[in-house]
Chains A and B, each alone.
Chain A
Amino acid sequence: MSLSILIVDDSRVSRQIVKRALPPWESEIREASGGKACLKSYADQPADIVLLDLTMPEMDGFETLARLKALDPNARVIVITADIQPGSKERVMNLGAVALLHKPVNPEHLRAAMESCSS
């Protein structure tokens, strides 16, 4: 069964980097370039895993995460960000993310985080 993945980041290059780091599982990949697009895409069709950036203009990752969880409390969100301070991690976990990974994302860490989503 194919895994549906939603990659959310305002940078096209960044989305590409994440795509490249994904484990070679069968998956259907969607992209969104901002918080609003992410919520719309998820509302239309929920994804199994959301890979979310924090620093985005207009609606940042924190807000997007909160709204996503409000929309679907079971949403599985992995945050991938350049902001690697411990305070950010705490905040993100409190909002219900599964994990926080640092950019540039390590494929091993990404795989492990994605595996933990199914449990």
Chain B
Amino acid sequence: MNELTADRRDALTELLNIGFGRSIASLAELLGIHIQLSVPSVKIIHPHEIIDVLSASEVSRDKVTLVQQTFRGEFNGEAVLALPGRASRTLASMLETDCGFHPDMEPDKLHLEVLLEVGNIVIGACLGKFAEILDSMLSFNPPQVFLDSIQLDRMRQTISLPEYDTLLVLTSFRLEKDEVTGYMFIFIGNDCLESLFRAVDRFLGGLS
């Protein structure tokens, strides 16, 4: 039964909340800054709402960069980190200057590498923790910079959203230093919803 019941929604929200808290703490620790977890952190929305959500947020005022990473395990899916242009530049300079991450690369390659690294850490930590609580395991494909510095209306033309229902989770975080908000989307395809819900039900069953 692939229905998103209230309990399943609550569990997913809470578990991703925990996962996301972990990934933001990892990033903050690595960067040596404090990152504010905004509230509410997790929402489950329909894929078509993704552009509307971004349009209504701060991300729309700036160009946005998307880093995607595919994961697989008990359930497969795709995670996407959306960062406003400003944030990605800030993160880049932080990683390089404060954290000792300065590989010898040409500037535009280094820029890409930084985006990939941040995406990898945030996505990996969040989903890793999420899977851990569900007593499950996930592996990850290499991250890709899907769109770098693109205007939001261009995004509408470039992204093809699935027609069928797909579970989509959205979380947001705020870099206090820069007052910019970033978003993470997690897509889980129809074919994997059953497995995901099975894992969630297993977790809920263990509670009562």
Residues of A within 8 A of B (CB): 11-14, 16-17, 20, 55-57, 60, 81-85, 87, 103-104
Cα–Cα, bound, A35→B10 (Å) = 18
Taking a contact as CB atoms under 8 Å apart, the answer to whether A84 and B21 are in contact is: yes
A16-B207, A55-B37 known; A11 vs B14 contact (CB < 8 Å): yes
In contact, B20 and A82 (Cβ under 8 angstroms): yes
Q: Do A85 and B34 touch across chains, with their CB atoms under 8 A apart?
A: yes
A-B contact pairs, 9 of them (CB 8 A): A11-B13, A13-B11, A14-B14, A17-B14, A56-B39, A57-B40, A84-B22, A84-B25, A85-B25
How far is A56 from B37 in the complex, measured between Cα atoms in Å?
Answer: 11
Q: Is B204 close to A, CB under 8 A?
A: yes
Q: Is B18 an interface residue (CB 8 A)?
A: yes
Interface membership of chain B positions 1-37, coded 1 if the CB is closer than 8 angstroms to chain A and 0 otherwise: 0000001001101100110111011001100001101
Q: How far is the CA of A83 from the CA of B24 in the complex (A)?
A: 8
Query: Is B199 part of the contact surface with A, judged by Cβ < 8 Å?
Result: no
Residues of A contacting B37 with CB < 8 Å?
55, 82-83
Given contacts A11-B14, A17-B207, contact A103 B21 (CB under 8 A): yes
Contact B208 A83, beta carbon cutoff 8 Å: no
Is chain B's interface secondary structure helix, strand, loop, or mixed overall? helix
Across the interface, do A83 and B21 meet the contact criterion of CB distance under 8 Å? yes
Instruction: Give the distance in Å from the alpha carbon of A20 to the alpha carbon of B203 in the complex.
Output: 12
Query: Interface of B with A (CB < 8 Å)?
Result: 7, 10-11, 13-14, 17-18, 20-22, 24-25, 28-29, 34-35, 37, 39-41, 133, 204, 207-208
Asked if B10 and A12 sit within 8 Å, CB to CB, the answer is yes
Choose one: B11, B17, B28, B204; the contact of A82 (CB below 8 Å). B17
Q: Are B208 and A16 in contact (CB under 8 A)?
A: yes
Most buried by A among B18, B41, B204: B18
| CB–CB A13/B207 < 8 A | yes
Task: Judge whether B21 and A81 touch: CB under 8 Å.
Answer: yes
> A85, B24: Cβ atoms under 8 Å?
yes
Partner of A13, one of B14, B24, B40: B14
CA–CA, A85 and B21, complex, Å = 8
Which residues of chain B have C-beta atoms less than 8 A from A17's C-beta? 14, 207
User: Lowest 8 CB-CB distances: which A-B pairs, in order?
Assistant: A82-B21, A87-B34, A13-B10, A11-B14, A82-B18, A84-B25, A13-B11, A103-B18
